[in-house]
Amino acid sequence: MDQEQAQNRISELRQQLNEMAQAYYESDQPIAEDHIYDGLYHELVGLEEAYPDLVTSDSITQKVGGQVAAGFTKIIHDSPMLSLGNAFNLEDLQSFEGRIKKLIDEPIEYMCELKIDGLAVSVKYENGQFVQGATRGDGKVGEDITANLKMVESIPAKLNEPLTMEVRGECYMPKSSFVRLNEEREESGQAVFANPRNAAAGSLRQLDSAVVGERQLSTFMYAVANQGDLDVASQEQGLNALDELGLATNHERKVCQSIDEVWEYVQHFQDERPNLAYEIDGIVIKVNNFEDQEAIGYTVKAPRWAIAYKFPAEEAETLIEDIEWTI
Ligand code: NAD
């Protein structure tokens, strides 16, 4: 492929991906299956790596998806809410480790967590009281969904200690609530949600908080974004501290000493996925030690110290709607 052909394909891919991302993040109504989006995105990353002078700052590879919807107050995040780089096989995970080992000259511990398929949220506490909740938005500016998150039972109004801090996590709809909700919607002639992720995102990003209470959403918190008063040195300690404070975390997590051990965890949960009460779309692997994380750093879009292994598509599906795109 010469430079001109690459430029044409890059433009085409960006346009397709932007349309898909807009439907997914802004309307909560995807027009393509995730694996189709991921495949096109992967192709774009490959082309931008091969032709670095064709990378532009407005490319979807350089931005966190999502915008603030009309009707919501904007919240500027104290620190950006980022995306995650992707891995699709063991080799990708080994390359991830290779990049880290160039920077950290000692044994690395990895925290493996389930990648919950919901909506990223930020929750702030002041002196132990829940004061503000936000969506990720474009990563820098999110939507104020405080009233909606107050209706989610697993987010306590008060922590077990009067700490000031920001936590981040995933708000999701359990599979059983999703089935019930769609049955009710079908009976009353309303459009059904495509999947629990869209049902959760659609519920949180609407303006009537009473509706959120009925939708039985739940959360797993996975990050201390601003430690504030909390004194923790690793992801493992951070998650344990969140448990003690009364926040819900996912207990299927595991600290692994090698990528081989990470891979065993990945395969185990790939098999277990249908038996879980909530949807997951992969495994998030994070360097455990916070000092190591800071030394490894960030790209414009994602931490370099973490990666999301994406499960293969559960069944071969094509576009949700008929789109005349060449893939
Ligand atoms: P991502 O979903 O790949 O990864 C980042 C997100 O993972 C975080 O924002 C967080 O919400 C979530 N997460 C869940 N569990 C976590 C945990 N334990 N620790 C840390 N984070 C955790 O990134 P993204 O940029 O939001 O979205 C990209 C993905 O969204 C694509 O890979 C694709 O699957 C999907 N997407 C699909 C379409 C479509 O048309 N179907 C369009 C756009 C995006």
Whether 135 contacts 159, CB under 8 Å = no
Contacts of residue 14, defined as CB under 8 A and 6 or more positions apart, other chains included, come to 44, 59, 60
Binding-site positions = 34-38, 83-84, 113, 136, 170, 286, 310
What pLDDT score was predicted for residue 315? Answer: 54
Whether 202 contacts 257, CB under 8 Å = no
Q: Which atom of ligand 1 is nearest to the CA of 117?
A: 14
Q: What's the distance, Cα to Cα, between the start and end of the chain in Å?
A: 16
Contacts of residue 230, defined as CB under 8 A and 6 or more positions apart, other chains included, come to 163, 165, 224, 238, 241
Nearest Cα residue to 160 out of 63, 77, 59, 241 = 241
Residue numbers of the chain with a pLDDT score lower than 70 = 315-327
Residues linked to residue 144 through DSSP beta bridges, in sequence order: 134
Residues linked to residue 116 through DSSP beta bridges, in sequence order: 280
Query: Among 67, 88, 115, which is best to mutate for testing ligand 1, by the most ligand atoms less than 8 A from CB?
Result: 115
- Ligand 1 centre from 26 Cα, in Å? 14
What pLDDT score was predicted for residue 296? Answer: 97
What pLDDT score was predicted for residue 299? Answer: 94
What pLDDT score was predicted for residue 26? Answer: 84
What pLDDT score was predicted for residue 227? Answer: 79
**Interval 72-128: pLDDT, tens:** 999 999 999 999 999 999 999 999 999 999 999 999 999 999 999 999 999 999 999
Q: Which atom of ligand 1 is nearest to the CA of 115?
A: 15
Contacts of residue 313, defined as CB under 8 A and 6 or more positions apart, other chains included, come to 33, 34, 35
Query: Among 33, 34, 288, which is best to mutate for testing ligand 1, by the most ligand atoms less than 8 A from CB?
Result: 34
Distance CA 263, CA 272 (A): 14
Whether 109 contacts 257, CB under 8 Å = yes
Name every protein residue with a CB atom under 6 angstroms from any ligand 1 atom.
20-21, 24, 30, 32-34, 37-38, 65, 83-84, 113, 115-116, 120, 136, 170, 222, 284, 308
What pLDDT score was predicted for residue 69? Answer: 84
- Ligand 1 centre from 119 Cα, in Å? 8
What pLDDT score was predicted for residue 318? Answer: 40
